Chain A
């Protein structure tokens, strides 16, 4: 039994909206990071200066409280050197009699540079939401998962619950921050800032059902064009989170992009326990909850 299957869209009645989400098609991502900037600018997310990482063109490192969109850069040698391992310099030193055997472009060896914009997945089974004791995390009328900054007390339960490592506390104010799928913009019939900015339409926003159909068509086209490695990630409900509001078309294994291959809702086995506890808590603590939530409202 899942905890929240009935909470959305049912609880919104006629205010309920179609479930909205992102389809990020990494095959046309040019790694410009407009999504990162547009997100920060709209949501006033603070700067997070981390210096030169050396991780290709990625100096943002990961999603976190101060980074709600993150573009990963993956440099691959083609044909991929799967067995050798080691750093590029080590590979060069091993193989490199510089004068004799240096590899040049003429010698047929190429590179592939993958770029992909990551974001909160807005899971169908969202562990973060399920463990949140304050009601700060909630599912909106669009089916998205949002942290409410006026409610969050920084307890941090949601942080380890997230199978993607998205939830994160901001050091200076102690609260948890993440992608809201631009909840305020959605309520005004505008698309999220990242999707609006994306120059190549790699980030597509829309009704999830329609996005899934679009993604299927896109995948078929890429496969027809010989992109054997192309795949959809989190596009259907056949995974440990029962699908996501933000899913991806990848050109390689999810691990290559730093994404977990089999994410699971970390509290799915706790469902029945929580259900019982929840019922008890409701009976016992309705007044208390009202006091807590109402006080912050």
Chain B
């Protein structure tokens, strides 16, 4: 155990041996009580880096329902705790001040965004999908063979999404006959 308590005023420490005040005697209260924020986090969850496809393990530290640190997961046999600069910037990606967290809406010919609630936006998008699908529906070929599809809607996205998300998207768009579902793999 320490002979000295964890925090001792500098003058006492100086008298106790660090007469030049360069080491322990100079340690401030903040320094003496410094704790890594990974230690004070409320919880840590295990994740995977969102950038490239190496699939590096990440440990995500959460404090007061906010991500306070993301670093490599040493348990991962893929990455062994290491991250590249992009992976190391993941916390900044999540807590990025540039993130837009409200729905934006731009009517035809408008020169600026407008506000719109998420619910209204989802409702409006559903209406447009239904309308476009009806207007561009192809029931059969000219020879009468079934097509049962629309080419009036193009979906692009997926390489950054989860398997479960892609599955639901593919499932629903296929059921709608919206066949042109595509993603970055083509690009």
Contacts and interface: CB of A to CB of B under 8 A. Distances in A.
Contacts of A149: 30
Interface string B17-37: 111111111111111001111
A141 B25 CA distance: 11
Interface in B1-56: 1-4, 9-11, 13-31, 34-39
A15 interface: yes
Contacts of A136: 26
Contacts of B71: 38, 42, 193, 196-197
B57 interface: no
Contacts of A38: 71, 83, 85, 88
A139 to B, nearest CB: 4
Interface in B78-119: 81-89, 91-92
A33 B88 CA distance: 10
A293 B69 contact: no
Contacts of A13: 2-4, 17
Contacts of A146: 31
A294 B21 CA distance: 13
Interface in A17-45: 32-34, 36-38, 41-42
A197 B39 CA distance: 18
B28 A151 contact: yes
Central interface residue in B14, B23, B36, B92, by most chain A CB within 10 Å:
B23
Contacts of B85: 32-34, 36-38
Interface stretch (A4-12, A162-170, A210-218): A4-12
Contact of A290 (B2, B11, B24, B82): B11
A34 B84 contact: yes
Central interface residue in A14, A41, A282, by most chain B CB within 10 Å:
A41
A139 B89 contact: no
A148 B23 contact: no
A148 B28 contact: yes
A123 to B, nearest CB: 12
B116 to A, nearest CB: 32
Interface size class of B (residues with CB under 8 A): 35 or more
A34 B72 CA distance: 11
A148 B27 CA distance: 8
A138 B81 CA distance: 31
B27 A138 contact: yes
Given A38-B88, A151-B28, A8 B21 contact: no
Contacts of A135: 10, 21, 25-26, 28
A7 B19 CA distance: 8
A135 B20 CA distance: 10
Interface in A167-205: 182-185, 187-188, 190, 193, 196-199, 201
A188 B35 CA distance: 7
B83 A187 contact: no
Contact of A148 (B24, B30, B35, B83): B30
Contacts of A182: 36
A190 B36 CA distance: 9
Contacts of A196: 71-72, 81-82
A185 B36 CA distance: 5
B23 A12 contact: yes
A10 B17 contact: yes
Contacts of A34: 82-85, 87-88
Nearest to B90: A41
A45 to B, nearest CB: 11
Interface of A: 3-4, 7-8, 10-15, 32-34, 36-38, 41-42, 129-130, 135-141, 146, 148-151, 182-185, 187-188, 190, 193, 196-199, 201, 278, 282, 286-287, 289-290, 293-294, 296-297
6 contacts: A15-B24, A37-B85, A37-B88, A196-B72, A290-B9, A297-B10
- The 5 A-B residue pairs with the shortest CB-CB distance, nearest first, are A138-B26, A11-B18, A135-B26, A290-B11, A7-B23
